[in-house]
Amino acid sequence: MAAELLLLLLVCAGGLLLPAEAQDSYDQLPTVDKAGVDLALEQLLTNSGVRHHFRFLKSVEKKERDEGFGVRFLYHHFHLRPTRCAKGTAASDSRICPFRNDRPLMDCAICYKTMDEQIETTPEPYVHCIQRPRLTEEMTTTRMNQWKKMTYRTGGATIMALSTG
């Protein structure tokens, strides 16, 4: 009986620790990824149609292309979860602004270019966030097309293109 009680207690304690770990996953992101998430959060903050405060929940997919000389292109697909704080609250601490489970996740994708870990304004970063249930296949395709468009290269000189005379 005591062993069963101890096991139940450990399972319950583990269940309480898991959400706290997930809530602080933003802190585990590399600096350049945090900058992209911050850009999406800033866009949500300035959008009058969005009524909630959001915090980073988890990364879904990341793509990166290193161009050399400190230049990188990044694609980051992630989820934001609404919190109990009022929109515009600066706090992003899980103890101050806990996640709420009665609202849908915000599904976000961002494509951007960085130079020495700083987001470049050219080309303009692409940010798309929408409530998870409203995300369509067409939107997902558009996101990937933006990534392809941003990272498209015409190529360099080839042997066939070189002139010999």
Bridge partner residues of 130 (DSSP): 107
Measured distance CA(5)–CA(92) in Å, rounded? 36
pLDDT tens digits, the chain, 165 residues: what are they?
Answer: 454 444 444 444 444 444 444 446 899 999 999 999 999 999 999 999 999 999 999 999 999 999 999 999 999 999 999 999 999 888 777 888 999 999 999 999 999 999 999 999 999 999 999 999 999 999 999 999 999 999 887 555 555 555 555
Short-list 71, 84, 152, CA closest to 117: 71
Residue type, 9: L
Task: Identify the sign of the CA torsion 47, 51, 54, 59.
Answer: negative
Q: Choose the CATH number for 26-151 among 3.10.450.10, 3.30.930.10, 3.10.20.30, 3.30.830.10.
A: 3.10.450.10
